[in-house]
Homo-oligomer: A and B are copies of this chain.
Amino acid sequence: MNKPTLYTSLSPALLDLYNVRDCIVVVIDILRATSTIATALYNGAKSVIPVDSVEKCMRLGRDMECITAGERDGKVAEGLQYGNSSFEYPRSFIEGKILVLTTTNGTRLLHMALAKGATDIITGSFLNLSAVCDYLIKENKNIILACAGWKDKVNVEDTLFAGAVVHRIKAGFTINCDASNMAQCLYEQAKDDLYEFMKKMDASHYHRLMNFGLERDIRHCLAEDVANVLPYYVDERLVSLRSSGG
């Protein structure tokens, strides 16, 4: 029996090379959209609505009485209430609420995948790595690991996460994809200390966030399984499917 396929798209600008229709698309934006999504859902948010513009975020916030949040170029976007940091969404604040989120790269990529016909979308981050891998193994469908990057440029942290997934689930999939194999090789170099690796690699996003004083955010976003939910996109929002172990 043929195993399902696994491909990694290292940038939104490469997503067109893959057929997103008949597979699970894992949207990856480690710093920080998909980490924030995992945290908010883990801490009891009813749902996270990813939108692709600040205007839409504000409109939904008014119409539905949700919390509006998002960033442009790494800072809280003007007109929105909150930013794109996991630390802004403790259980005491977010439980039972709806979060409307727009970010430079991650939410934009999710909408690109939708526009290309994807029907099966989840989001992945180190915070929910096991939930993502468990789900992908259980579903046994073709997979595209879709990295958000930074304005279409490939980045280290999203690539490392793709590599982490490949590292864990490769036995069950046909991987005829150099990007996946390279990502896995990098992850194996990095896995003992992802933060140190980011620093050593002089990662561009590491610098960008360090300049905003966000070291704590970066460290948090590289911690495995501390918000181990499965954000699944349905009815225009991300809701949590708790993993079997969660």
User: Chain B CB within 10 Å — which of A16, A159, A201 has the most?
Assistant: A201
Interface mask (A181-214 → B, CB under 8 Å = 1, otherwise 0) = 1100110010000000000011111010000000
Question: Within the complex, what minimum Cβ distance (angstroms) separates A164 from chain B?
Answer: 15
Looking at chain A's contact residues, is the secondary structure mostly helix, strand, loop, or mixed?
helix
Oligomer: number of copies: 2
Residue of B nearest to A183 (CB): B182
Contact A153 B178 (CB under 8 A): yes
Contact partner of A178 (CB less than 8 A), chosen from B181, B189, B201, is B201
User: Chain B CB within 10 Å — which of A151, A181, A182, A185 has the most?
Assistant: A182
Contact partner of A14 (CB less than 8 A), chosen from B11, B156, B182, B202, is B11
Which A residues form the contact surface with B (CB < 8 A)?
10-11, 13-14, 16-17, 151-156, 159, 175-179, 181-182, 185-186, 189, 201-205, 207
Given contacts A14-B153, A154-B179, list 9 more A-B pairs with CB under 8 A. Answer: A13-B14, A13-B17, A14-B152, A17-B153, A153-B177, A153-B179, A156-B182, A182-B182, A185-B186
10 shortest interchain CB distances as A-B pairs: A181-B201, A156-B178, A154-B179, A155-B178, A176-B204, A178-B204, A17-B152, A13-B13, A13-B14, A178-B203
